[in-house]
Amino acid sequence: MTRSLCVSLALAFAAAMGASVAHADGDAANGEKIFAKCKACHTVEAGKNKVGPSLAGVVGRKAGTAEGFNYSDAMKNSGLTWDEATLNTYLTGPKKLVPGTKMAFPGLPNEQDRLDVIAYLKSAAQ
């Protein structure tokens, strides 16, 4: 297999998985504004769960492990860790990545919006 074919296949796979091949960093201030869509169900306050789990410290956390939240079996057994790439894919379409999740939110179709929310979640943990 040629190098160019390998690169093309890797790029196609990344795109199919919802991953960005190359992207700008997120804007945490804009992410906080976009996060307003999430506030009905989530908070970034540690230990405060709502309809959804607290997202305080979510980046780097194993999925389905926020203390005190009753996760779906699908989320508890997903084997995911919320790194930036996984969050980006999940926020594209939560039920696509974790069929059976309780999360009803359809996702954020705009990649920059997702990157901005991820940047906000990272900054809120500091």
What's the mean pLDDT when you consider all of the chain?
A: 86
Is residue 114 in a domain? Answer: yes
Is residue 16 in a domain? Answer: no
Rg (CA), the chain: 15
Dist. CA 110–CA 126, nearest whole Å: 25
* Distances from the Cα of 108 to the Cα of 5, 20, 58, 75, angstroms: 31, 14, 18, 19
**Is the model's pTM score more than 0.85?**
no
Higher pLDDT, 78 or 1: 78
Asked if the model's pLDDT at residue 103 lies above 80, the reply is yes
Dist. CA 70–CA 34, nearest whole Å: 25
- What pLDDT score does 78 carry? 98
Is residue 98 in a domain? Answer: yes
Is residue 63 in a domain? Answer: yes
DSSP string, 56-69: TT-TTPBTT--TT-
Asked if the model's pLDDT at residue 70 lies above 60, the reply is yes
Closest CA to 28 of 125, 119, 121, 122: 119
Q: Locate 40 and state its tokens.
A: 């009905």
Higher pLDDT, 3 or 85: 85
User: How many residues are present in the chain?
Assistant: 126
CATH number for the domain spanning 115: value is 1.10.760.10
Range of the domain at 40: 22-124
The number of distinct structural domains making up the chain is 1
Asked if the model's pLDDT at residue 112 lies above 50, the reply is yes
Asked if the model's pLDDT at residue 48 lies above 50, the reply is yes
- What pLDDT score does 9 carry? 38
Is residue 1 in a domain? Answer: no
